[in-house]
């Protein structure tokens, strides 16, 4: 039957695509429903366009530091319009690659928004969600719809941007206020600042990046302040008002700020409101869909992966969940996702990367006296001639009882590339002795990881 499938995947983001392609490679008859561009948050309005902006910002910084290396570049001008258009074209190119690869695997793609009619039938709604264009049947259904930004309920909230809006801009603003102290807020604060845009950042706590090792967030705070970003801690947004061409932003303390625009980066939530989950009795756990270790919901033929479940909301996690699901269901394998030692990076300037336990998590788990900390900070050689020098910080959290390295943290250039490799060693149970007996590669920043002797 034409509209009957072995698997319906709702959502063509990183997790949905990975699972659909893996299932089709086992010979399953797969349908994918997507209301927006193929690629989802990561490709269309997240990791990919953001990282391209990070590279652009770094290039601009390099140009502005060129004098330090004896290079004279007389005319420095920047068109954010050109950059934003190039990024959009690249994102569409990647989206098209995904579309073609699904075509090759005979995956049927339906444009529209999925909604459960019953546990095996999904309706497809038109782009304005007003009309049902079709209903399709699936033996298995995978919910992979991702998340959407949280918007604080304050007067004038409709004047605020979310990160989605940044990638739709014609050009960058001259000044911006950013609400939040997490991944998105810190990354965009650094990107905009590196482009010469005036940045105010409002954080409700007294530190950045909740959940990260406190040394990392402290180093980042110092660098951000040093680079000209105006951080206000223990402060919250009260209201937003139009003021001429810009905004007047009122804060809890009673003070006001003026900037061209405001970016709300206050977390994300599963995008599940239109799925009719209550129709089929899906159990929730808080705002997330409840799943077991193989991502199965309480409705036996319905599974959920990615940002709709309560696991680290990161692209590689969603991809692995999607592949494990398809390997188990269509490849008869018995796989589970390895959630231990997931490396994380925040692409600030300089970037932060981490794998394993923070110092405080390790001390809580193994007691203070059983944890030994090795750390060093220095100005990397690449900064020697720069006027504004940034620091690097490297840190190992070690369990004294068996000498295992429980956490590896780094603040500084290329830290994401370095921590990805460190995560291989940590996953393999590396001890501090093995770090110590490993020959250094000189002159590099990461050599300090193997030279922090007792
Ligand atoms: P985060 O959870 O990282 O940060 C949210 C920030 O908003 C926190 O500082 C939080 O404060 C603050 N906040 C939440 N609610 C309020 C409120 N009511 N008033 C004031 N402040 C508030 O979310 P992001 O939106 O930055 O990113 C969403 C997710 O996307 C990340 O968690 C991550 O999974 C993913 N992501 C990953 C990236 C990467 O891998 N490099 C890059 C970008 C996003 P508090 O700490 O006090 O809760």
Is the distance from CB of 394 to CB of 447 less than 8 angstroms? no
Q: Is 442 a catalytic residue?
A: yes
- From 245, 266, 287, the end of a domain falls on 266
Q: Closest Cα partner for 307 from 329, 289, 286?
A: 289
449 ligand 1 Cβ < 6 A? no
- Which CATH number does the domain housing residue 297 bear? 3.50.50.60
Atom index in ligand 1 nearest the CA of residue 313 equals 34
pLDDT of residue 2: 65
132 & 184 share domain: no
Q: What is the largest CA-CA distance in the chain?
A: 70
Is the distance from CB of 398 to CB of 404 less than 8 angstroms? yes
347 ligand 1 Cβ < 6 A? yes
Atom index in ligand 1 nearest the CA of residue 205 equals 47
178 ligand 1 Cβ < 6 A? no
176 & 226 share domain: yes
Atom index in ligand 1 nearest the CA of residue 208 equals 9
The verdict on residue 411 lying in a domain is yes
Which residue, chain included where needed, has tokens 């652009």?
A: 56
Tell how far CA 363 is from the center of its chain: 27
Number of domains in the chain: 3
Residue 315 φ/ψ, nearest 5 degrees = -55, -50
204 ligand 1 Cβ < 6 A? yes
24 & 100 share domain: yes
Q: Ligand 1: which of 184, 214, 265, 312 to mutate, judged by most atoms within 8 Å of the beta carbon?
A: 184
The verdict on residue 336 lying in a domain is no
- From 224, 241, 266, the end of a domain falls on 266
| Catalytic entry in 98, 258, 409, 442 | 442
pTM over 0.85: yes
Determine which residue's CA is closest to atom 18 belonging to ligand 1.
152
Determine which residue's CA is closest to atom 48 belonging to ligand 1.
210
331 ligand 1 Cβ < 6 A? no
296 & 276 share domain: yes
Determine which residue's CA is closest to atom 17 belonging to ligand 1.
266
How far does the centroid of ligand 1 lie from the alpha carbon of residue 266, in Å? Answer: 5
268 ligand 1 Cβ < 6 A? yes
The verdict on residue 338 lying in a domain is no
> What is the domain range of residue 284?
4-148+269-330
How far does the centroid of ligand 1 lie from the alpha carbon of residue 238, in Å? Answer: 18
pLDDT of residue 76: 78
- From 330, 355, 381, the end of a domain falls on 330
Question: Phi-psi category of 179—alpha, beta or left, where left has phi over 0 and alpha has psi -120 to 50?
Answer: beta
The verdict on residue 428 lying in a domain is yes
How far does the centroid of ligand 1 lie from the alpha carbon of residue 45, in Å? Answer: 16
180 ligand 1 Cβ < 6 A? yes
The whole-number mean pLDDT for each consecutive block of 10 residues of the chain, a chain of 454 residues, reads 89 98 98 98 98 97 90 87 98 98 98 97 95 97 98 98 97 98 98 97 98 98 97 98 96 98 98 96 98 98 98 98 98 97 98 98 98 97 91 98 98 97 98 97 97 82
224 & 131 share domain: no
Structure tokens at 184: 């998105």
189 & 134 share domain: no
Question: Phi-psi category of 112—alpha, beta or left, where left has phi over 0 and alpha has psi -120 to 50?
Answer: left
182 ligand 1 Cβ < 6 A? yes
184 ligand 1 Cβ < 6 A? yes
How far does the centroid of ligand 1 lie from the alpha carbon of residue 179, in Å? Answer: 10
Residue 87 φ/ψ, nearest 5 degrees = -65, -45
Is the distance from CB of 215 to CB of 359 less than 8 angstroms? yes
Is the distance from CB of 33 to CB of 129 less than 8 angstroms? no
pLDDT of residue 298: 98
pLDDT of residue 454: 60
270 ligand 1 Cβ < 6 A? no
The verdict on residue 197 lying in a domain is yes
Determine which residue's CA is closest to atom 34 belonging to ligand 1.
313
pLDDT of residue 224: 98
92 & 232 share domain: no
167 & 277 share domain: no
Atom index in ligand 1 nearest the CA of residue 315 equals 40
183 ligand 1 Cβ < 6 A? yes
Rounded Cα distance, 194 and 148, in Å: 26
98 & 193 share domain: no
- Which CATH number does the domain housing residue 390 bear? 3.30.390.30
The verdict on residue 335 lying in a domain is no
How far does the centroid of ligand 1 lie from the alpha carbon of residue 204, in Å? Answer: 12
85 & 133 share domain: yes
**ω into 443 cis (within 30 of 0):** yes
Q: Ligand 1: which of 187, 191, 266 to mutate, judged by most atoms within 8 Å of the beta carbon?
A: 266
How far does the centroid of ligand 1 lie from the alpha carbon of residue 185, in Å? Answer: 7
The verdict on residue 339 lying in a domain is no
- Torsion 429-434-438-440 (CA) sign: positive
243 & 357 share domain: no
- 3-state SS of the chain? CCCEEEEEEECCCHHHHHHHHHHHHCCCCEEEEECCCCCHHHHHHCHHHHHHHHHHHHHHHHHHCHHHHCCCCCCCCCCHHHHHHHHHHHHHHHHHHHHHHHHHCCCEEEECEEEEEECCEEEEECCCCCCEEEEEEEEEEEECCCEEECCCCCCCHHHCECHHHHCCCCCCCCEEEEECCCHHHHHHHHHHHHCCCEEEEECCCCCCCCCCCHHHHHHHHHHHHHCCCEEECCCCEEEEEEECCEEEEEECCCCEEEECEEEECCCEEECCHHHCHHHHCCCEECCEECCCCCCECCCCCEEECHHHCCCCCCHHHHHHHHHHHHHHHHCCCCCCCCCCCCCEEECCCCCEEEEECCHHHHHHHHCHHHEEEEEEEECCHHHCCCCCCCCEEEEEEEECCCCEEEEEEEECCCHHHHHHHHHHHHHCCCEHHHHHHCCCCCCCCHHHHHCCCC
The verdict on residue 129 lying in a domain is yes
Sheet holding 237-243, edge to edge: 237-243, 246-251, 256-259
Determine which residue's CA is closest to atom 45 belonging to ligand 1.
210
136 & 186 share domain: no
Is the distance from CB of 144 to CB of 9 less than 8 angstroms? yes
- The β-bridge partners of 4 are 137
């Amino acid at each position: 039957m034409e509209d009957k499938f072995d698997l319906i995947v709702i959502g063509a983001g990183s997790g949905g695509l990975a699972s659909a392609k893996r299932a089709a490679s086992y010979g399953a008859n797969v349908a994918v429903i997507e209301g927006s561009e193929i690629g989802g948050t990561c490709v269309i309005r997240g990791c990919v366009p953001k990282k391209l902006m990070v590279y652009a910002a770094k290039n601009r910084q390099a140009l502005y530091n060129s004098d330090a290396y004896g290079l004279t570049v007389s005319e420095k001008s920047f068109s954010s319009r050109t950059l934003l258009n190039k990024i959009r074209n690249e994102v569409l190119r990647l989206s098209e690659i995904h579309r073609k690869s699904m075509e090759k695997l005979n995956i049927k793609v339906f444009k529209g928004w999925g909604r459960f009619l019953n546990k095996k039938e999904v309706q497809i709604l038109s782009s304005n969600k007003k009309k049902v264009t079709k209903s399709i049947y699936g033996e298995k259904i995978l919910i992979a719809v991702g998340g959407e930004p949280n918007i604080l309920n304050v007067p004038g909230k409709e004047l605020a941007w979310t990160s989605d809006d940044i990638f739709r801009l014609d050009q960058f603003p001259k000044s911006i206020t950013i609400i939040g102290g997490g991944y998105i807020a810190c990354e965009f604060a650094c990107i905009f600042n590196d482009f010469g845009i005036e940045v105010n950042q409002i954080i409700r706590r007294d530190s950045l990046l909740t959940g990260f090792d406190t040394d990392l967030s402290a180093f980042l705070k110092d660098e951000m302040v040093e680079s000209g970003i105006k951080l206000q801690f223990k402060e919250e947004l009260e209201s937003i008002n139009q003021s001429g061409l810009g905004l007047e932003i009122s804060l809890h303390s009673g003070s006001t700020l003026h900037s061209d625009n405001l970016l709300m980066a206050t977390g994300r939530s599963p995008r599940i409101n239109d799925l009719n989950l209550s129709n089929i009795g899906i159990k929730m756990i808080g705002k997330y869909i409840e799943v077991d270790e193989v991502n199965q919901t309480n409705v036996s033929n319905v599974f959920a992966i990615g940002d709709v479940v309560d696991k680290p909301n990161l692209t590689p996690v969603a991809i692995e969940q999607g592949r494990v699901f398809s390997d188990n269901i269509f490849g008869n394998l018995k796989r589970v996702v390895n959630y231990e030692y997931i490396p994380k990076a925040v692409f600030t300037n300089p970037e932060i990367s981490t794998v394993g336990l923070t110092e405080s998590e390790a001390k809580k788990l193994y007691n203070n006296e059983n944890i030994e900390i090795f750390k060093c900070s220095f100005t990397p050689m690449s900064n020697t001639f720069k006027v504004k020098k940034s620091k690097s910080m490297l840190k190992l959290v070690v369990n004294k009882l068996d000498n295992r390295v429980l956490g590896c943290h780094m603040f500084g250039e290329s830290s994401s590339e370095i921590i990805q490799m460190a995560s291989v060693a940590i996953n393999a149970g590396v001890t501090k002795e093995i770090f110590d007996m490993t020959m250094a590669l000189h002159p590099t920043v990461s050599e300090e990881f193997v030279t922090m002797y007792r």
